[in-house]
Structure 1
């Protein structure tokens, strides 16, 4: 055998080995299909999942659509990418798996998703991470708690002072009754005594005059003081209550249940309130967001028909605003939610249990200041705070509070 032919066969064998190794590598990826595993991709995937998928899907259970646990094992990444971008097109092509999915969940069909191939990989990275590391549910955890959260500021009940005054009045009446009884007993005892002087007998014989007591300067002064205190307290409470509407739960033009959507179906708040991480306002969702699901879900419901009517007439739905702040106060949702890491439930309460949303927190200036004094800054892993943390730790080892970074400055909220 010639040397040239041997070399040629060796090269051919080497190519076969590399080919097999490459095929094995692709197959080994198989299920994962090149899905990234780095923290940045998983974090980005979580945000994309919350904003695009969470309204219909969960990783560990079926919601509106199928559970996504191990979805990359059921179909390869190329198929998933094609289906996510153009689900109807894949179904119309006769793909058996896609048709079976449609038959299971029809008439609901996933709308086309305007996401890139890289974003789909990031979403799958989050799904895979959640599949491999299922969340541990702490039964003792308080809803809305956690780092950065702050329970509603504890304070003195607005009626406490009136209660104290009422108790004091009762005590004074009791003391007065006891004194009258003692005086009557003592008078009766003295009348039975012998040898009293005429002056003493006259004093003992006198009768109790209630009107004289009521007209006395001491009683009039005390009663006037109590009256002024009660009136002043009522006026002050009334002034402080202007614009405060804790518990306010107005009727809405459409009976929308947060308990059903955010609770049962676990739709993320950010899916509907799209501005919460990038704007001053969380914004009220438009009818188009509702139609992402309700173009095929419960289309005959009288409440959903109200959405259709608003779209047909090109008129916005007249939702009634619940949480109001005075114009003199500046509040930025993105600063608190995106930068500060504050959960929605911290201020808005357990929305997932509210059939009709109401104002949970008092939202007064004192409530905000108390929160800034008690809340630790969520500085871990946040480059925005690196320099501030360095300066703070050079002076004290205590956790950095919001007030330590200017959270109590007037100009932060009033300018």
Structure 2
């Protein structure tokens, strides 16, 4: 015989499944990949993020230092992609198979953490990766072949399949909710015809009260906790951004193009920045260094062919006045950084910190240059010891270690190295 207990069980299951239904609807909405937006605004914003943080090591349709990125949102799940971009080393350390396979495939090359990127930045980045710039057909074919191998290696369920699976689950759950609703209706009608005491009758005839849910202590506690968490997260993010000038690209007194000089003309950085291999500072070039080349340019073109920007260099030389360049990269006075130690001894390329400088019309700060960013680099960067006698004794001492000799092994994490 049906009883009050039976109705309680059915109602409880109905409410539980209803909650699961709406949660699944939310998951389904997420699975539609709102992160990947084909709008021009999202793609343009994503290109800026890509150029500032990814371009040195990645191309959209070809392998570079890292893998080609086009189609990554089809090969991987969006939350996984965002976790990998923000802190790939943490994902690798967690034992994630896909992350470790990528790490080994690309010669254990560690990707810098990008914790400073917001969720909107990551969404725009993914939009640019999927819809930005035209695809070279040959490169796209190569990437497509690589994508199949990546999926076979366990890169996650493709988004199309995941959407179909979730859609089927939503339909099934909707049917179950309809069936349970009918069962509750039939049970209620049946029990109303029986002789019930007052308590049972009150329970059978009761109606769901949404107002009581909103006024309940549990609901208030959950909402308060969420508000506090959001406020705390916003405050912490704000504190971490203090003093970080990543992306800062001031207007200079002369529109000097690194893209033309370092890129097209392939002039070495060291030619203009003379102190980079011999001292702490790289030095800002004086007008006299500019004139080493532009004297000959003037002789060929004549004064009439000189642009107004180059004329400013001649005026500075003629008037014996310095060019007031605006400093782009600023470290706090409490931090010590030596260019020669990194460039001459360590063999670090300028692009490692300054980004694709040979592609910049206007120079901007590419990296975060925070203490965490430097420490992370020291933990991951292997020492270029081959052919460098400076490290011979250190290599000999480190020979029994299983890991490669890294900056952290030679004092790179000691406070006094940078804070003197």
TM-score (norm 2): 0.55
2:386 corresponds to 1:389? no
CA-atom RMSD, angstroms?
3.2
Aligned to 1:407, the other structure's residue is in SS state coil
In structure 2, the partner of 1:353 is 359
Name the residue aligned to 1:191.
Answer: 188
- Looking at structure 2, the residues matched to 181 and 218 of structure 1 have their Cα atoms a distance apart, in angstroms, of 28
Per the alignment, residue 332 of structure 2 pairs with 326
Match of 1:263 in 2: 263
Supply the distance in 1 between the matched residues of 2:119 and 2:397 (Cα, whole angstroms): 42
Q: Kindly tell me: are residues 355 and 181 of structure 1, through their superposed partners in 2, closer, same or farther at Cα, counting changes over 3 Å?
A: farther
2:223 is the alignment partner of 1:226: no
Give CA-to-partner distance per residue, 1:167-203, whole Å, 9 cap, x none.
xxxxxxx9xx999999976653443223162433323
Deviation readout 1:226-283 (Å, 9 max, x if unpaired)? 1111111111111111111222222222111111100110000000111100111111
The equivalent of 2:412 in structure 1 is 407
User: CA shift at 1:206, angstroms?
Assistant: 3.2
SS at match of 2:383: coil
Deviations 1:4-54 (A, max 9, x none): xxxxxxxxxxxxxxxxxxxxxxxxxxxxxxxxxxxxxxxxxxxxxxxxxxx
Structure 1 pair 350/204, CA: closer, same or farther in 2 (3 Å)? same
> Does structure 2 retain, via aligned residues, the 8 Å contact 1:187–1:204?
no
Checking the alignment, whether the CA contact within 8 Å between 2:258 and 2:358 is kept in structure 1 is: yes
- The reply to whether residue 292 of structure 1 matches residue 319 of structure 2 is no
Change (3 A) 1:151 1:274: farther
The answer to which structure has the higher helix fraction is 2
| Runs of at least 5 residues in structure 1 that lack an aligned partner in the other structure | 1-138, 144-148, 164-173
- CA deviations 1:45-81 (Å, max 9, x no partner) are xxxxxxxxxxxxxxxxxxxxxxxxxxxxxxxxxxxxx
Q: Is the 8 A contact 1:190 1:204 kept in 2?
A: no
Match of 2:239 in 1: 239
Partner in structure 2 of residue 250 of structure 1: 250
| TM superposition shift of 1:204 | 3.6
Q: What residue number does 1:308 align with?
A: 314
* 1:154 corresponds to: 113
Q: Secondary structure at the match of 2:259?
A: helix
Q: Aligned runs of 1:66-81 on 2, under 5 Å?
A: none
The secondary structure found in structure 1 opposite 2:398 is helix
Larger Rg: 1
The superposition leaves residues 337-360 of structure 1 with CA deviations (integer Å, 9 ceiling, x where unpaired) of 011111111111111111222222
**CA contact 2:110–2:380 (8 Å) conserved in 1:** no
Aligned partner of 2:201 in structure 1 is 201
Deviates most, 330-339 or 195-204: 195-204
Taking the aligned partners of 1:222 and 1:183, their CA distance within structure 2 comes to: 28
Question: 2:289, 2:195 → 1: CA distance?
Answer: 97
So what's the TM-score if we normalise by structure 1? 0.56
The yes-or-no answer on 1:272 pairing with 2:272 is yes
**Other structure's SS at 2:232 match:** helix
Q: Is the 8 A contact 2:252 2:325 kept in 1?
A: yes
After TM superposition, the structure 1 = structure 2 runs for residues 37-186 of structure 1, keeping only pairs within 5 Å, are: 142=65, 153-156=112-115, 159=118
- Stretch of structure 1 that moved more, 337-346 or 382-391: 382-391
Partner in structure 2 of residue 166 of structure 1: none
Q: Distance in 2 between matches of 1:186 and 1:215?
A: 29
Task: Kindly indicate whether the alpha-carbon contact (under 8 Å) linking 1:150 and 1:371 is maintained by their aligned counterparts in 2.
Answer: no
Residues 157/337 of structure 1: CA separation in 2 closer, same or farther (3 Å cut): closer
For residues 274 and 246 of structure 1, what CA distance do their matches in structure 2 show?
25
Distance change (3 Å), C-alpha of 1:208 and 1:141: closer
Aligned position for 1:398: 403
Unaligned runs of 5+ in 2: 1-61, 67-107, 123-169
Distance across 1 between alignment mates of 2:109 and 2:289: 31
The DSSP-based 3-state class of the residue aligned with 1:295 is: helix
Deviation track 1:204-236 (CA, whole Å, cap 9, x = no partner) reads 433333332111100010111111111111111
**8 Å contact kept, 2:329–2:365:** yes
